[in-house]
Amino acid sequence: MPIRPELKPLYPTNWTELSRQVRFERAGGLCQRCGRPHGHHLQVLQGGRWKHPDTGHWFNGRGRRVSPPDLIELLQVRQTKVSLAAAHLNHDPTSNRLRNLRALCQRCHLLHDRMYHLAQRRLTLRRRLALGDLFEGLYRAGVPPLGEVAPIFRTGV
């Protein structure tokens, strides 16, 4: 995953080498949570199930072998390319000890950072509302802006 520009100073200068070591030397090019192989195009289903490209076996989001999907589920299969990233287990980019780093695929990395992403989503929403308040006036739920007539909805006509 690319590093956001404002966070770049928190990473060490040898981050690319450290990340490569974690992803390929230590983890062998596999996600350390679900086992997805880096660089492969996989068939995936909702909920994290995926088909191994070499063996054809299906695995769940934790890397455990599961029964293959039925015909209806197979209609929902989509393709994705796996990309590994080095993730900080304690969410602190200044803590770069090897025991704090794991190689995770994009799905597992997003799940690992879920609380951070939800907080960012909330901040973005609040920022948009604040800009609306600043430039467009206060929001009034269910009340039309001044000069507009509220639509009348009739039921049981």
Q: Residue 2, CB half-sphere, CA atoms under 13 Å: how many?
A: 3
Q: What is the pLDDT of residue 66?
A: 92
d(CA 47, CA 132) in angstroms, rounded, equals 36
Q: Is the pLDDT of residue 153 over 70?
A: no
Inter-residue contact 42 to 53 (CB < 8 Å): yes
Q: What is the pLDDT of residue 6?
A: 85
Write the pLDDT tens digit of every residue in 41-86. Answer: 999 998 889 999 999 999 998 989 999 999 988 899 999 999 999 9
Q: What is the pLDDT of residue 150?
A: 54
Q: Is the pLDDT of residue 149 over 70?
A: no
| Residue whose pair of structure tokens reads 């660089």 in the numeric block | 39
Q: What is the pLDDT of residue 154?
A: 52
pTM of the model: 0.74
Q: What is the pLDDT of residue 124?
A: 87
d(CA 11, CA 2) in angstroms, rounded, equals 12
Write the pLDDT tens digit of every residue in 83-136. Answer: 999 999 999 888 899 999 999 999 999 999 999 889 888 988 888 887 766 666
Bigger pLDDT: 127 vs 27: 27
Provide the residue type at 144 as one letter.
Answer: P
- DSSP 3-state of 151: coil
Q: Is the pLDDT of residue 143 over 80?
A: no
Closest CA to 51 of 69, 30, 27, 39: 69
Q: Residue 148, CB half-sphere, CA atoms under 13 Å: how many?
A: 7
Write the pLDDT tens digit of every residue in 30-40. Answer: 999 999 999 99
